[in-house]
Amino acid sequence: MSLVPSESASGTQAVRGGRWTAAPRAAWRLSRVLLHVLYGYVRSWLVWPRLSASGRDAECIRWSRQLLRILGIGLVVQGQARPGAKLVVANHVSWLDIVAINAVVPSRFVSKAEVADWPIVGRMVTQAGTLYLTRERRRDAMRVLGLMAKGLREGHTLAVFPEGTTGTGHGVLHFHPNLLQAAIDASVPVQPVALRYADPVHQVSPLAAYVGDTSLFQSLWWVVSAQGLTVHVHVLPPQATTHADRRALAALLQSQIGSAVMP
- Integer-rounded Cα radius of gyration of the chain: 18
Residue 235: per-residue pLDDT: 98
Give the CA distances from residue 125 to residues 40, 118, 222, in Å, rounded to whole numbers and listed in that order.
10, 10, 24
**CA-closest candidate to residue 91, choices 22, 172, 174, 30:** 172
Q: What are phi and psi of 39, to 5 degrees?
A: -60, -45
Expressed as residue numbers, the domain containing 106 is 20-260
Residue 171: per-residue pLDDT: 95
Residue 21: per-residue pLDDT: 53
Q: Phi-psi bin for 197: left (phi > 0), alpha (psi -120 to 50), beta? A: beta
Q: What are phi and psi of 110, to 5 degrees?
A: -100, 125
- 6 part of a folded domain: no
* Alpha carbons 49 and 47: distance in angstroms, whole number: 6
User: What is the number of structural domains in the chain?
Assistant: 1
Residue 203: per-residue pLDDT: 96
Sign for the CA dihedral angle at 208, 209, 210, 212 comes to: negative
SS (H, E, C) 63-111: HHHHHHHHHCCEEEEECCCCCCCEEEEECCCCCHHHHHHHCCCCCEEEE
Residues of the chain with pLDDT under 70: 1-21
Residue 5: per-residue pLDDT: 55
CATH code, 193: 3.40.1130
Residue 103: per-residue pLDDT: 97
- Give, for 30, the enclosing helix (H) or strand (E): helix 23-46
- 9 part of a folded domain: no
Residue 240: per-residue pLDDT: 97
Q: Phi-psi bin for 164: left (phi > 0), alpha (psi -120 to 50), beta? A: left
Q: pTM of this prediction?
A: 0.90
**3-state secondary structure at position 196:** strand
Please give the order of strands across the beta sheet that includes 86-90: 74-78, 230-235, 190-198, 86-90, 157-160, 108-112, 131-133
Amino acid at 160: V
- 1 part of a folded domain: no
- 4 part of a folded domain: no
Q: Are 204 and 211 in contact (CB under 8 A)?
A: no
- 85 part of a folded domain: yes
Residue 12: per-residue pLDDT: 47
**3-state secondary structure at position 25:** helix
Residue 162: per-residue pLDDT: 95
Strand pairing partners for 87? Answer: 158, 190
Strand pairing partners for 232? Answer: 76, 196
